[in-house]
Amino acid sequence: MSAPSENSGKADLSENSGKADLSEKLDKSMSQLFDVVDVIGQHIFGKLWDLVFESIQDSFTFGVLAVFPSWILQRFTGQDFTNWQTCLSIEHSDVDRYFCFVVIAALFGGLISFALRLAKRFIKSIIS
């Protein structure tokens, strides 16, 4: 067994610092982009901008949470479990049918929670 050389540790540090530099640059550019979007949004929407921005973030998050699992499931199983007709076409005794209904129920529950959060925000902004 040979002892690790001193240079190998330095190479790892420089490699990590390169990743840190990239991360810092990406963070800085995203921060600048959000600052510009924030200024434009405040000019267009005024006091409602925070509400609109949070709603856009929620809708984007829900979209990712709805689409990403379906892509993974379709890749591994070869079936699209986000369609009600697909669930009904699977045999009654097959486990995939029940799994399909569970996926659809989870997506529907996420949609309901998203709609309730949106309604709560708008009602809160109207009251205050």
pLDDT in tens, 53-68: 888 888 888 888 777 8
Torsion of CA 14, 19, 23, 28, to 10 degrees: 40
Residue 40 confidence (pLDDT): 92
Residue 16 confidence (pLDDT): 61
The model carries a pTM of 0.55
Q: Which parts of the chain fold into alpha helices (H)? A: 6-45, 49-77, 84-89, 95-127
CA distance 111 to 48: 23
CA distance 22 to 27: 8
Q: How do residues 5-27 score in pLDDT, each as one tens digit?
A: 555 444 455 556 667 788 888 88
CA distance 128 to 126: 6
Q: How do residues 65-100 score in pLDDT, each as one tens digit?
A: 777 877 887 788 777 777 778 788 877 777 878 888
Predicted confidence band of residue 122 (pLDDT cuts 50, 70, 90) = confident
Cα separation values, 20 from 28, 34, 71, Å: 12, 21, 31
Of the listed ranges 28-37, 86-95, 108-117, the one predicted with least confidence = 86-95
CA distance 58 to 117: 9
